[in-house]
Amino acid sequence: MFHTEAAVNTRHWSTLMHCLLDEENICFYSQLSKPVQQQDPLKMLSTEPPVSVFTSENPSNDNSQNNTFLDSEFRYRLFPAFYGVVFVIGLVANAYVLYVLHHMRDSRAMNEMRIYMTNLTVADLLFVCVLPFWISYYCQNGNWIYSDTLCSISGSLFFVNTYCSVLFLTVISVNRYWAVTQPLVAASTDCWKRGVIISVIVWAVTLAAAAYQLATPGIQEDKNAVGGTISRCFEGYQNNNDKSKLPVVVIHFIIIGLFFTVFLLVVLCNVRIACTLLAQPISQPRPSTGRRPQGTKRRALRMLCAVVGVFVVCFVPHHVVQGPWTLAVLKMTNWSEETRQFLNDAHQVTLLLMGLNCILDPIVYCFSTRKFRMYIQGHLKKVKQGKNCSNHTSTTGLSMKIRNQCEELSVFEEKD
């Protein structure tokens, strides 16, 4: 019994000293100052500490936990390598496509399509030009070492490339649908003027949407794993207060809704084109080319699948994940940390897939087109022969036989 009372008294004075050192728990000392005989010795010997003494209930700590940056460490290894490949291939491919498009200005069958593909290529080149900054950003483990202006420009060009590509691919799909279903009406209008007007509208809409990113600071300060300060570029959603969260969510979901509306339009146009092509009877080969229309249909159908494929691979995954990811980052739902981390990891993967579009666009709309293949084959053949064709490509880069074959293609081959 003596040992029990000694232990109780020792526990009592130890707890008393903790209370005297903690100004926030003065009230708790009044409870500990009661006579020891009135308390159960077994309870006094419990190893569980008083909550008010050892547990912090400071709301500011909870707030700092809510503002923790949701990160995916794998991206610091994957993104630099992936974007490096995209930069090299995208720069070479799009620069060469722009060169070919410029020197094909005499090809009368490429007027409107050439305008759209030129704008699409320019949008891809703008994105490729800022990729070195993003590669550096991920090599620095998410630390932006450049100016805030350069951060805003780099983030805005990522946005511009994404939605310029979406809109120009949509315009090309609608243009093909119109040319196939109403060829006489499409041919009777001024194709060049229509192409220029539509291109100006697409750029105006996209740049206007990106103006907000240019006008607001792009860099947000954050803490790294060792307690230092790093600069995040367009990755500060967790710092938003409750009043600014709702507008962010609304803007993101409006963009998502508009994208799927455009995607539905692309699918409908290409399905209608496919039905029109498949409904046409098989005829004899044309004497001028010796090619069967059935082969032309297959090529056209492959191109239709490629159009939808670019959307499905590059853009649809991002816009499927974007909504839940926004809610997870802003903590507007009661999802677990595992769910939030999964959504953030998936979001990073979809960003990589969107970067593929600057490689797939030249392949789908340029290198897989008969006229481009003929032109490129003729150009490369002359390069191999050691001829200087740079000064004559626009007029004599192709032989008359190849040029005549290009002009004799049907409307399906023109849009192929």
Rounded Cα–Cα distance for residues 125 and 127 (Å): 5
Task: Kindly report, residue by residue over 4-50, the tens digit of the pLDDT.
Answer: 444 444 444 444 444 444 444 444 444 444 444 444 443 443 434 33
Task: Kindly report, residue by residue over 341-385, the tens digit of the pLDDT.
Answer: 999 999 999 999 999 999 998 877 665 567 777 777 787 788 777
Going by pLDDT thresholds of 50, 70 and 90, the confidence category of residue 276 is confident
Rounded Cα–Cα distance for residues 155 and 134 (Å): 9
Where do runs of H (alpha helix) occur along 26-147?
A: 26-32, 41-44, 51-54, 59-66, 75-103, 111-139
| pLDDT at position 238 | 59
| pLDDT at position 387 | 55
Place of tokens 């949008």: 123
Rounded Cα–Cα distance for residues 17 and 11 (Å): 10
Homologous superfamily of 74-414 = Rhodopsin 7-helix transmembrane proteins (1.20.1070.10)
Rounded Cα–Cα distance for residues 116 and 195 (Å): 7
- In our burial notation (b when 16+ CB lie closer than 10 A, e otherwise), range 171-197 reads bbbebbbebbeeeeebeeeebeeebee
Going by pLDDT thresholds of 50, 70 and 90, the confidence category of residue 88 is very high
| pLDDT at position 313 | 94
More confident residue, 129 or 389: 129
| pLDDT at position 295 | 61
Rounded Cα–Cα distance for residues 172 and 269 (Å): 10
One-letter identity of residue 257? G
Rounded Cα–Cα distance for residues 307 and 318 (Å): 17
Question: What residues does each domain of the chain span?
Answer: 74-414
* Angle formed by the axes of helices 75-103 and 111-139, nearest 10°: 150
Going by pLDDT thresholds of 50, 70 and 90, the confidence category of residue 99 is confident
